[in-house]
A and B are shown apart, each in its own frame.
Chain A
Amino acid sequence: MDSLLVRSAQELFSRHASSEAVRAIRAGGSPGSLWGELENSGFLDALVPEEAGGIGLGPAEALPVLIAAGRFAVPLPLGETMLARAVLGGAGEAVPQGAILLGEAYGDAARVPAFARADWVLLPRDEAALLLPAGAAVEDEAAGSPLGRVLRWPEGAGRRVPAGDLLVAGAWAEIAVMAGAMERILEDTVRHAQDRQQFGRPVASFQAVQQQISVMTEDVFASRMAAQLASVADGDGVARLNPVRIAAAKLRVGEAAVRVAAIGHAVHGAMGITEEVDLHLLTGHLQAGRMRFGGEAHWGAWLGRRFLADNTGETLAFVRAQLGPAAPEASA
């Protein structure tokens, strides 16, 4: 099941999310054909419970699809739409057509990623959420940046819907996509180091370069593991995500993203600074993703407080009980 899903995701993205297609969407072109493929693939209802007409998969099964999306720097909110549909479908709400972004409150406005295109924004509001049509939003240019656009709607806009913890849900989608982006950066960096020649030999033959790529490899493996830990469904939030797991993983992946992006750029040299090479699509995503749904300091303090308030005892006992590789009931 798992590998079938991954294979079809990879096939879909290599066909319909080429570098040119991704760049065209980012530049304002229509995402229609890629989105149409995603709709037909069935991925969008992966996390919607079976009783609500979905496929009823858990986050662990959906993870490889989002990792694949991250590898291709897909500029559409695939994971977020999956989560939003799970929230809406699970609550018996009508699920709209189209891509749904999870917005973050920015005062009374919403902050959303600069390059992601969507039809809807689901924005947390007073213990519930507003489902807002993206087309009706007014962009606050002064507050926006490449790290996020700021959108505002007229008073009374949107439909009020019940919502779980959208911060945790959104963080999970970012964790997955960032882990995927880092895998691709590693592959691109290894290839570049092998191809690029200086002093009469590939730069990959220099020990200083090798050691840097080894550090990058470690962070990429750790991020993949963090994403897998975050996808163990033993919580009671959206898709049974567990905030303790999300806290640990978002933090770890955010830390890794800094080193992976830095080393990727260092090894690519000036070529990596160009618009032409895909590296910046991926590192740009890491920078933006690191700042969405809480970064290292936010989740670190949250997790630290959680540990201190818990009476499990030592750190290892806490990790075993709450952050183990399997749901507690499975390993009890």
Chain B
Amino acid sequence: MARYLRLYLRYFGQNIKSLMSYRLSFLVGLAAFMARQFLGVAFVGLVFAAIPDLAGWSRDEVLFVYGFAQLGRGFDHMFTDNLWILAWRMVARGEFDRILVRPLPPLFQLLAERFQTDGIGELVAGIAVTAWTAPRLDFPAGPWSWALGAIAVVASFLIYTAVKLALASLAFWIKFSQAYLFAAYKMADFAMYPMNIYPKALRFVLSWALPFAFTAYYPAAALLGRESVAFGIGLALAVGLVATALSLAVWRAGLRAYESAGS
């Protein structure tokens, strides 16, 4: 364990070094994701200028859900971004070969090889929005809430990563799978707003098929006292763990199916 942590830090250090040779692009990426979050907030603001509440949710509550959604997503973006590269070209071009001939777990290498600073933009925006809205809400502050919030963020991180890992692994069979990832990430956009604005069938899909509802809405609702803690946070963690286990199974099957690339 300690060895892996040390190695991760070694990879991380090298990442930062290569980053230094692309400083402008680092800033551009950061700006991109900040801008996206900022406009997301602006969107909610504009809409609420015209109406008092959205299906029973106040502006601050909606923003809280929105901000909370960015936290797990930001962590996922920072630490597992190489899965996009896997889906986009590593498998198709046979670049994955090198990972399989080194004496470290392939998934560890894959994730360690890339730290995506763009995700910091999401994380910062998420922290800013939650920190701004939380005190304005009727919110039982204290260590209990913090602990629940932290668990919920971990669960959300796990769910995002699990969906990404499972879909990226499809590339082992079909060579390119980034379109599936793209589509799934669009589905995650549903999770940024209160679930009760959607029809039942859609809510079902977002809860039990691509469980993005557990990345923000249910946990935030639990923190706000609109759902039970057991459902909103306990179940979110369970869903995160189950999804992770399933996606790891897909990943392992994918490794066996990997065909490299003819030269």
A binds B: no
